[in-house]
Structure 1
């Protein structure tokens, strides 16, 4: 072979090798952000320039159907497992497991019992088993030891820690010597203020504007860290919010002796555990008690809710119509905004926006299911998805056309786990 032919052969081989590597994208990085209780139409309630900036240069899904019940813990676990509540086991914010003979409640903070979480495997564990590292800033469940694992880096939950401090830790983890490829970031509002004010209150305008400013801060910090154009940012929520009032209250004490049952979970889906021998009495007393409350025996719960095939779903559930409250009596008090209602209701639907190298630009999609996020995340991260209730094909059109990706399995030592106990620091952005 002549020197010219040999040189040409080397050049051709180099080009072929270059093309081959270019078809295998660099390790995708994903940051998943949840603004708790951000209803889909808050985007249009007041000017939200930072949300619309993401929509213009990324993708937006108009209708996201979350799972029943439309509460925080069930839906946040769905987002990271792709499972309905009856399959992942976090069926409510307050639960009782008759097999474990244990309770789970936000009020008593016994949510750290691993046994409640281990009917599913969240994505950070799958990501770490594939040899990668994860970081979580307050995402529900990430400070719980699940299947003997925590995220590689995580923050112990503390609602007093500022959004800016949470962002700082996420940025630190993405830019460290051993960077994470998966980050999860959670913020409590506008849910907290939506409960307090009610979503129809004009005072919600400044709350929504504040969330938009927080998103702007996140974008600014990602750009400063040279992550904005290399990281796939997904912005979503767990549920929406609807307006309630003192005129729309159903008091169980008017129909039922409180000594005959335990109220496991409250409004708007009252989970009722009758005392021994009192099932029929309790059911008959409630079945037609109020026109704005539908009462189901467990086996009669509608299939479309995917909610009855789990031992933590109580023998009787009472579901309030939208905007109605179920209380034992009015002395318990109520919130002006609430969620948890039928997931078919528009007011319960959250948001979905995304931006990054994997996503199309200025693209709007009509609808998706919250369960579809999990297979999308696994696809972006190049990790195998565990069995789930979602569909990657349903959200494939959000992505830019690329060469087929091959999921690779790598062996590496298990990553070191650390716990970050946050402290206050001076905010650098307002």
Structure 2
């Protein structure tokens, strides 16, 4: 009897080893962490892709989802909107209300033009997504994204590049590829490029010379795609290409001069055109307001409490007592000796010229699909879903954007679910094969032992 048990033990040992390997493989598949790269081309207006040939943007659109209209937050400037994208909050809620700010509580200033932006107290009314991601045990990497070189709530991204606009786009891409492919890879990357915003200010968005600038951005997107492909990341990570705002064309004939209406000694300008934050000298609020309220037909002036609710731009101490807002295409200056921009942004966020681009491509997204509209605040809950982290309270809506995903959103995301289902079916097939193998192996061994037993016994029978 003992020899008949040996094949069964061997077979069962093989069975449990195979099962153990399959279970480890399934566990590995379940633990796959989706990866996301968020890209911002500053000032890339939604319709730039139609002004000149942009084959790389259209390649991404054909392989992903294009949202035609993204309504960003007021004011439509760089820092407020970049912080909205990574917090899902309106400017009044996350606290980065302008590129130039004065905090009367701190009695301190924040200035993009002076690069005086590193005081964490200005940023800590919110927690950006890289902090939440890292507190869940994941790793983030940021290449120049606004705010990522600030120690917010005592936390920096796992990897980051201190802001330096002279660092080439290619070097920024190289760093992100390195972080995504390292032994301890990041699952979330952020990439920022200053153009075409700078040239849009200098040339104006309608200038034919903007054509080569837009083409250069398209080439840079093509470079990014080629490097992701070379690193075998394209088609594996989810890439979102967007911007903070658009750009409007200005004219020297559309200028509003504050000096014509109010004494400059009565107030201080904190943030500049076209949404001018005005801090009156003590006791001069009403005088300044009355002087400006009906000064020009293309300028609307609000006391803080009068600011329209739809802008979500009044409930914060850094929003100044008076806000003067120019109509689209108009500029507000002290007088015509001030620097004049040919293109600008910061206008009402319902104006089409203020709206940015949005393209999403990757395993989680539908292919060759379009969506009519979304809000910039909706990106944050979408990112949290893709990264499988719980969002903090925000002003966005995941339900508003879940239709751009490849499948009905589940616990793991479409790409991970597909992987798990595939592994499960494959495991099931191997287990069936193993069971059949064990059955036939045991039967074969049993028959072999029976024949051997008969051959050994036969001579003894013949001796009788």
Compute the TM-score of the two structures, normalised by the length of structure 1. Answer: 0.90
The whole-number CA distance in structure 2 between the counterparts of 1:112 and 1:279 is 30
Residue equivalent to 1:421: none
Residue equivalent to 1:119: 125
Q: Cα deviation per residue 1:174-204 (whole Å; 9 max; x = unaligned)? A: 1111110000000000000000000000000
CA deviation after TM superposition for structure 1 residue 330, in Å: 1.1
Residue equivalent to 1:140: 146
Contact 1:23–1:403 (Cα < 8 Å) also in 2: no
Residue equivalent to 1:366: 372
Change (3 A) 1:30 1:24: same
The structure where helix makes up a greater share of residues is 2
1:95-244 paired onto structure 2 within 5 Å: 95-244=101-250
Change (3 A) 1:375 1:311: same
Q: Cα deviation per residue 1:330-357 (whole Å; 9 max; x = unaligned)? A: 1112110000000000000001101111
Residue equivalent to 1:91: 97
SS at 1:148's partner residue? coil
Larger mean CA deviation between 394-403 and 170-179 belongs to 394-403
CA deviation after TM superposition for structure 1 residue 16, in Å: 9.8
SS at 2:233's partner residue? coil
Q: Cα deviation per residue 1:68-118 (whole Å; 9 max; x = unaligned)? A: 000000000000000000000000000011111111111222100110000
Of the two, which has the highest radius of gyration? 2
CA deviation after TM superposition for structure 1 residue 24, in Å: 3.9
The one of 283, 290, 303 equivalent to 2:296 is 290
CA deviation after TM superposition for structure 1 residue 19, in Å: 11
Q: Cα deviation per residue 1:8-54 (whole Å; 9 max; x = unaligned)? A: x9799889969975984721000000000000000100010000000
The whole-number CA distance in structure 2 between the counterparts of 1:45 and 1:107 is 30
**Runs of 5+ consecutive residues of structure 1 not aligned to the other structure:** 408-430
The whole-number CA distance in structure 1 between the counterparts of 2:228 and 2:182 is 14
Q: Cα deviation per residue 1:231-290 (whole Å; 9 max; x = unaligned)? A: 110000000000001111101000000110011011000100111111110000000000
Change (3 A) 1:16 1:125: same
The one of 49, 62, 71 equivalent to 1:65 is 71
The whole-number CA distance in structure 2 between the counterparts of 1:406 and 1:232 is 14
Change (3 A) 1:181 1:297: same
CA deviation after TM superposition for structure 1 residue 401, in Å: 1.2
The whole-number CA distance in structure 2 between the counterparts of 1:356 and 1:288 is 51
**Runs of 5+ consecutive residues of structure 2 not aligned to the other structure:** 1-7, 414-464
Change (3 A) 1:138 1:314: same
The whole-number CA distance in structure 2 between the counterparts of 1:113 and 1:15 is 51
The whole-number CA distance in structure 2 between the counterparts of 1:314 and 1:93 is 13
The whole-number CA distance in structure 2 between the counterparts of 1:44 and 1:25 is 41
Larger mean CA deviation between 20-29 and 305-314 belongs to 20-29
Compute the TM-score of the two structures, normalised by the length of structure 2. Answer: 0.84
- Superposed CA RMSD in Å reads 2.3
CA deviation after TM superposition for structure 1 residue 393, in Å: 0.8
Residue equivalent to 2:433: none
Residue equivalent to 2:37: 31
1:340-359 paired onto structure 2 within 5 Å: 340-359=346-365
Residue equivalent to 1:423: none
Residue equivalent to 2:434: none
Equivalent pairs, count: 406
Residue equivalent to 1:414: none
| Correspondence 1:300 to 2:318 | no
Residue equivalent to 1:375: 381
1:272-283 paired onto structure 2 within 5 Å: 272-283=278-289
The whole-number CA distance in structure 2 between the counterparts of 1:220 and 1:373 is 25
Larger mean CA deviation between 158-167 and 9-18 belongs to 9-18
Contact 2:402–2:409 (Cα < 8 Å) also in 1: no
CA deviation after TM superposition for structure 1 residue 406, in Å: 5.5
